[in-house]
């Protein structure tokens, strides 16, 4: 650590290889579990000892609005994002009064996540929807900054941020 401390860890990796379960894209399922779920766990494993030792720290874990409700083609992706929410809540309860945990649940964001979709029809549908209503990544960054800049005794548990046009 160049500056001698770690103030916050933002777990923000994700892939959305969404498809119907009938398509049995098991490799896609494995990738989503490895990146979306294990990535968060490995981030926690890296930062938690540092946070404990220094007596403060803030985890910001990116879930998704898909972690609040699931839709056809999104079962596994939603499952990973529901799991991120559950792990984050468990971490919050275990953290004590010195560590903070925030879940960021974005809706449609202008991002490259559609590139990881292997079903061509679903990929085209997502790309079209993003073109019509996705919000800027800057909106997510501002939400994260809001949570982090709160006083040490304030823990922002979750921020759901989505386009006004998203149902």
Residues with catalytic roles:
77
Task: Enter the tokens of residue 147.
Answer: 């949570």
78 Cβ neighbours under 8 A, 6+ residues apart: 64, 66, 67, 69, 70, 71
Q: What is the CA radius of gyration of the chain?
A: 16
Q: Which of 153, 154, 145, 162 is nearest to 63 (CA)?
A: 162
Task: Enter the tokens of residue 5.
Answer: 């401390």
**Gap between the terminal Cα atoms of the chain:** 42
In this structure, what DSSP letter does residue 67 have?
A: G
Q: Which of 120, 119, 108, 125 is nearest to 163 (CA)?
A: 108
> Is 157 within 8 Å of 101 (Cβ atoms)?
yes
Q: Which of 74, 66, 80 is nearest to 166 (CA)?
A: 66
């Amino acid at each position: 650590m160049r500056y001698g401390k770690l103030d916050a860890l933002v777990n923000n990796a994700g892939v959305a290889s969404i498809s119907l379960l009938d398509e049995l894209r098991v490799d896609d399922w494995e990738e989503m579990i490895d990146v979306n779920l294990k990535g968060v766990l490995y981030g926690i494993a890296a930062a938690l000892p540092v946070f404990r030792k220094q007596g403060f720290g803030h985890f910001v874990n990116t879930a998704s609005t898909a972690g609040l409700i699931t839709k056809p083609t999104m079962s596994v992706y939603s499952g990973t994002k529901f799991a991120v929410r559950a792990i984050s809540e468990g971490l919050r309860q275990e953290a004590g009064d010195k560590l903070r945990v925030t879940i960021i649940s974005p809706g449609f964001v202008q991002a490259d996540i559609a590139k990881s979709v292997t079903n061509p029809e679903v990929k085209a549908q997502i790309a079209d929807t993003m073109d019509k209503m996705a919000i800027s990544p800057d909106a997510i960054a501002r939400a994260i900054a809001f949570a982090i800049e709160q006083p040490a005794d304030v823990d922002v548990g979750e921020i759901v941020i989505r386009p006004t046009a998203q149902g």
